[in-house]
Amino acid sequence: MSKDNRSAISDDVAFGFLPAQKKDRVFGFWDLILIQVGIGISCICILTGSSAGMLVNAKDALATVLFGNAIPFFLISPIILLFARYGVDTFLGFRSALGYLGSNIFYFIFMFLTIGYMAIAFFMAGEALVKIASVMGLPGFFSNSATGAPFFAIMIFAIVFLITFQGPLVMRKFNLIGVPAILLVVVGLFITLIFGIGITKIFGLTPAEAYPGDHARSFVTALEINVGLGFSWLPYLGQYARLAKNEKTAFRAGFFSYGVIVNVAVLLGALAAIVVASVDPTDWMFAILGSWAGTIGLALLTIGNITAGTFLMYSQAISFKTVFPKRSWKLAMATAIPTILLLLSASFYQAFASFITVIAYIMSIFGGIVIADFFFVKKQKVSIKDLYDTNGNYYYWRGINPSAIVSFIIGTIVYWSLYNPVLDAPSGLFYYISAAIPAYFAAGITYYLSAKFIFSYAVDRVADEDPMAGNRKSAV
């Protein structure tokens, strides 16, 4: 690695660790929209939509995509104000609710989420290359999905690892190609679906894998899958909001990016799955675009997934260095290696719907906790000094906030009582209220009651006299 690349990584670590100063807060509304939409539109969004499109028709897909993503994001998006106001990253800002050790534990949960997302991106790219290999007449090992997809996926992991290891200077050059590639795939498929096949025909099609005779279950399961994507943005909200010019800009840009515009890619996935009757985006290219355009689409999809992988891998590694600044960059990068285990077969890739609902379970509960803490317990007053002093007021009990533990337990009981995402086993009540949103409110209410009346620390009683605490009202 060159000296310039090492310096760039060090700069990013320092920049992510230290509070953003006024001179650093350079992003306006459209700056944030472009950055967050460019990062947000990915294979994960497309696959979320396609998972829903296999269960419900186009009309219901539109509802589950828009409401399923927008409502949970609306519930967690106010936490953007924490990062925009104090200029801190996610895993520093969440120390006020989770404690120092608790926030580190949340990082490892984020790490496993990111590993899962990377595995999905790499395996999808592997499937795309298998289809290209088949068109090119390559030997069966490469053109057979059972052997070729894992092989190509692991090769792509190695490429992304090498790109990301070099640091942001190399990444940014590659991403100048990768981001437009995934946008071209989305735009090309969307135009072909709308103008080539036609809205009327699409809305007349039936889903391929709906639950037989149980429309309500199909609808609410599709909704829960999209709710998972909406809540999954929680760990990423601090990355760019902290650089916004003001709180109002950060909130509005975040909501319109992740809560609205990114849904275009999700809706595309749903419509394409309904038309082709396949959850796998690599199956759509030839079916929708034809042979030549389909091959180009597969190539662009591969490049786009490589780009998504670099974003995800770098985000994970740089966050590791931010949380554990004394650890080496090599160790930070090594945290991505377990991804390979999920690339050895198609099992994890095919279980995406279960994975995204597990995310709904975990992130909805954490969302309820941090919102309750910042807005209703701390009343938007957080001590910058104590965020950085690991022996400070946010130490709580052995570095973990007991109220967060109790809230996570209660949220878990509520979620799994309503829905088992691993076995896809719903309760009767799941049909009416789903699972993640009730778990969000259960965790949030429990946290408030616990922090106020059971484990009532001095910092939870909002020390208005604290000169380091903010005292501004919400800009929203």
CB 130 within 8 A of CB 281: no
The predicted structure's pLDDT at residue 358: 95
Across 422-437, b (16+ Cβ under 10 Å) vs e yields eeeebeeebeeebbbb
Show the domains of the chain with their CATH numbers. Answer: 20-347 (1.10.4160.10)
Q: Which of 5, 48, 8, 28 is nearest to 355 (CA)?
A: 48
- Model pTM? 0.90
pLDDT at 200 (0 to 100) = 93
Distances (CA, A) of 276 to 56, 207, 271: 14, 10, 9
Q: Higher model confidence: residue 180 or residue 340?
A: 340
* Rounded percentage of the chain residues whose pLDDT exceeds 90: 65
Q: What's the pLDDT at 465?
A: 46
- Report residue 412 as tokens: 């878990």
Q: What is the pLDDT of residues 331-355, one digit of tens each?
A: 999 999 999 999 999 999 999 999 9
Nearest to 404 by CA among 142, 114, 102: 102
Q: Map residue 114 onto helix, strand or coil.
A: helix
User: What's the mean pLDDT when you consider all of the chain?
Assistant: 89
In this predicted structure, what is the pLDDT of residue 20?
Answer: 75
Angstrom distances, CA of residue 292 to CA of 102, 189, 234, 286, 339: 51, 14, 39, 8, 32
In the predicted structure, residue 24 carries a pLDDT above the cut 90: no
C-alpha to C-alpha distances, 266 to 42, 48, 62, 271, 438, nearest whole angstrom: 9, 6, 9, 9, 23
**DSSP line for 429-464:** THHHH-SHHHHHHHHHHHHHHHHHHTS--GGGG--T
**Range scoring the smallest mean pLDDT among 172-181, 188-197, 216-225, 370-379:** 172-181
Query: Tens digits of per-residue pLDDT, 356-410?
Result: 999 999 999 999 999 999 999 999 999 999 998 888 999 999 999 999 999 999 9
Q: Which residue has the higher pLDDT, 291 or 378?
A: 378
CB-CB neighbours of 372 under 10 Å:
27
Residue 127: Cβ-neighbour burial (10 angstroms; 0-12, 13-18, 19+): buried
What confidence tier does 473 reach under pLDDT thresholds 50, 70, 90? very low
Mean pLDDT of 229-241: 89
Contact 228, 47 (CB under 8 A): no
Quote the CA–CA distance of 310 and 263 in Å, as a whole number: 22
Residue 476 has pLDDT above 50, yes or no: no
pLDDT at 443 over 70: yes
Angstrom CA distances, 216 to 66, 213, 432, 433, stand at: 18, 9, 9, 11
Closest CA to 72 of 258, 270, 351, 238: 258
